[in-house]
Copies of this chain bind each other. A is one copy, B any other.
């Protein structure tokens, strides 16, 4: 039996969250790369060039593009995001998976063990990744202060509401808390297109 106070507390929490919009940006397919792989693909003396800063501190879109290839097809002009990471990771949508013929698992960024193989083709070389291709789980970056305000914990799974003429709720959204982050939700192009959602719009934790 759920007590009336529990129900009232939950409703009150929902109402508090409903007054806290979270900006949401749409992640197109992209590649995070380790320096060694970058040199193989672009040449030993090639330097990664910044195109524009992203919202998360220190992160940026580079000018460098790769082709990614799977057994069924390939996708050209996939952007590399900087700075270098300790591992190379390819983030694609489920739609991209069908095009490439790749069965990428839905994963949190960085958790690439046992993820899908994919081939990277750069102007100076190619790499056969044995693993590293994932569909990024939808997630919200936030600081510990944001988490306190939204009454959330790191690694919590929440639902987010997307309004608009083709709105709805995305479940299974991961909360990621770090003092290095700023408050920002990331969904991929499939999720955005299903809701006709555009980068810079607001979502609500529900």
Contact = CB atoms under 8 A, between A and B. Distances in A.
Copies of this protein chain in the complex: 2
Interface in A159-206: 159, 165-172, 188-191, 193-196
Contact of A196 (B106, B167, B189, B195): B106
B171 A171 contact: no
Contacts of A159: 168-169
A159 B171 CA distance: 14
A141 interface: no
B95 A193 contact: yes
A94 interface: yes
A93 interface: yes
A190 B192 CA distance: 9
A73 B98 CA distance: 19
A191 to B, nearest CB: 4
Contact of A172 (B94, B168, B172, B190): B168
Contacts of A106: 165-166, 196
Nearest to A189: B95
Contact of A171 (B94, B137, B168): B168
Nearest to A206: B169
Given A94-B196, A106-B165, A168-B172, 11 more contacts: A94-B193, A94-B194, A95-B95, A95-B189, A95-B193, A106-B166, A137-B166, A159-B169, A168-B169, A169-B171, A194-B194
